[in-house]
Structure 1
Amino acid sequence: MSFIRTFHGDINPKTLGVTYSHEHIVCRPPYWVEKQAEDLLLDDKEKSKLDVLDFKQLGGQAIVDATAIDYGRDVKAVKEISDETGITIIGTAGFNKSFLWEAPVPEHVKAVIGNYQTFYEWIDATSINDLADVVIKEIEEGLEGTGIRGGQVKFGTGYNRITPLEEKTLRAVARAHHETKAPLHSHTEAGTMALEQIELLKSEGVNLEFISFGHMDRNPDPFYHEQVAKTGALLSFDGISKFKYAPESTRISCILELVDKGYERQILISGDTARKSYYKHYDHGLGLENILGKWVPRFIEEANQKGFDGEQLVDRFFIENPANCFSFKK
């Protein structure tokens, strides 16, 4: 029996619906607070909610909030947005990448992890199994002691490298996955190190069919994508709308190449909308509406031109694949 764990409890995967697979809704990352990087602080619940409503108006039904404990979650605000909009939200336990750990630990998080001054200090001083226990508790009892349980476990690594502490958190998250059966998600900085992560996950006995690798479109290399897909893992193309990294033609070409090779059931789509300047109602950006409103019609047209069934692929990427990816399979 499988289920998806949401901010409103466990649901049947068949009811998840149209899903963005990697977003950030309300958060104040301590690292960026310290750096006074205002653009990276999504700190207005009402503005975030307006973008979520735009997503809903276009047929959106669910969002995976990929904000981990080290990225300044506001669990209660996100829960309120879910309550007030009717959008299903999936929360995230685990970790992001190591440079974020230099930041001071917020006081309310110290109640969860102990009286450590920085995330780096905590992770360095804590055993793999004890880190895993924190992740397990967030899945089974609630994120940051709220009683709102997480629906996936996450780890991350840096650009073209995996530090010893990043390996430590990867192993902790793998062990939490084994204990809880929660789906896994990986942050790959600029789409790098997925294959190296895979080797570490294999050493922890992880079935790669239970993980999604984020930011694959940041490394638009079809050969590399195929090596990841061959493991059975899902690939998250979650930089849609970010033209500064690549034109949409590049992303669509990479996606359709995977489809042509038979991997259409292993593709997820989202925007990783984590800046005020990306949000419509914060700073006049393209907003959460852009993918469903503009990208999907373009994708369907391009896919159809190349002999694929664009509408069927959209259903796969936004409904069927998320329902499979984010399921707890006991």
Structure 2
Amino acid sequence: MSLPRIAIDAMGGDEGVRVMVEGAALARRSHDNFKFLLVGDQAQIEAALEAHPGMRDASEILHCDDVISGDEQPSKAIRRAKTTSMGLAVNAVKAGAAGAAVSAGNTGALMAMSKIALRTMPGIDRPALAAILPTLEPHDVVMLDLGANTEADARNLVQYAVMGAAYSRIVTGFEKPKVRLLNIGTEEIKGTGALRDAAALLTQACARDEGGLALDFDGFVESDKINRGETHVVVTDGFSGNIALKAIEGSARFVTDLLKHAFASSIRSKVGFLVSRPATELLRHHLDPNNHNGAVFLGLNGVVVKSHGSATAKGVANAVTVAARLLEDKLTQRIAYDLSELGEAAFKKNGSGSPDSAGEAAA
């Protein structure tokens, strides 16, 4: 199947052009129909392409030597959207020159540029950042929001649930993914007013005989159960989601470092490492963030994927593959259809026509 080109911000990330081009080339080895618009310094890109001759016929270079730094404020970055590699990659999606954009650069700047250039979809108030996390089960879990918005009301959380479920159907294959709201407990009385109101709205929307959502709302989940595989989608605000994500990543690094120290502590431990090496290698592979790299800005009129700044070529390849898969499976169209099924009626509570009134009253 022929796919639209994927615009690559070749200057983003800790390693820059070399890793971004190598990652794109690695992705193309498994998917020879991928085509790219490589945005960045032409001389550096051409030098990187020397190591990947098969990429030349599949790539076009858009020269740009202006780069958004990792610590640049989004409010300043957006003023250079038309001159930077990140901004030009996103604008290529807006102009139809590419179907999706991938960047490993400044997350806040990428979010701001993407929102301004592509705008949010009808029915979405705020886009959300979603990522795939490993679980103990064969399927992964989709989690959002992971930092695009620090606060979320009940309406936002319901929209996140719809978007997360649409994304989950693509990556997990489940027709009605199980969705839960992140909370401090699983009891119905726990949590903020926004959480309880969102739970009531999702329960009501899923229970409708006709036009019910293509998801299975299953109440609340606590943070220690995110990776257990008991749910397919975890929904929260960006503040809590970012804290939870970094806690999970930190715990993974702690476990791997602890094992390294334990196995190096004595001769007996080193022998034990050799015996248990197949199991430890499986653990290392499962916890490697490069295998799940590629967070997605959901709710925009276009596909934008954020690669981790420290991602290896393998991680970049995974992010590129995520972008291609979302194009192939028509993510934005799926979200639009599900939103039409939800309808404004789902936000009315106790006869109120204001979507936000329930959350404000319960606060």
* TM-score greater than 0.5 by the shorter chain: no
TM-score with structure 1 setting the length: 0.31
Structure number with bigger Rg: 2
TM-score with structure 2 setting the length: 0.29
